[in-house]
Amino acid sequence: MDKATYQQQYSTEDNPGWQAIDHELEKIYGSMKPRHYPPLCGLHYVAGGSDPIDGASVYDSNHQESHRHIVSYGMSELYYNEEKAGGDFSKWGFEFTFRLLPFRDDPHDPIWAIQVMNNLARYVFSSGKWFEENILFRPTGQSG
């Protein structure tokens, strides 16, 4: 979208990147309300906090196999920034997602997975290297 269209569609009060992520998740989960976790350290990265992502949402998915689906916010441009309109991609151009099968002995949300996302984000921000889309990591010995 070009800068003029961006300015017509959004105001400085909007969070167009955040809204775009939520819109895509609504296509999958409908009106389900996720559990959202703000930066674990309490402050956003731009405000001096140590967590590069601005938070993560956890969905209880029953698609295919019941699992938790965790999605980060902050690797893409979340907030109004007309100077970024029309670019090839938004900020780093991706968000982290994590799917995890829950197990009986741990009924709580996997906060450790959000910490892993933050560690990966720290690597990206400090190194300037980013991840390509659809990279899957599986334990050794598992296929497809």
Looking at residue 58, its pLDDT comes to 96
Residue 24 phi/psi, 5-degree rounding, is: -65, -40
Looking at residue 50, its pLDDT comes to 85
pLDDT over 90 (residue 95): yes
* Long-range CB contact pairs, 127-134, < 8 A, 24+: 130/92, 130/93, 130/94, 131/94, 133/94
| Average pLDDT along the chain | 85
CB-based burial, 108-141: b 16+ in 10 Å, e otherwise = ebeeebbeebbebbeebeeeeeeeeeeeeeeeee
pLDDT over 50 (residue 31): yes
Greater model confidence, 19 or 66 = 19
pLDDT over 90 (residue 89): no
DSSP element (H, E) containing 97: strand 97-100
pTM of the model: 0.82
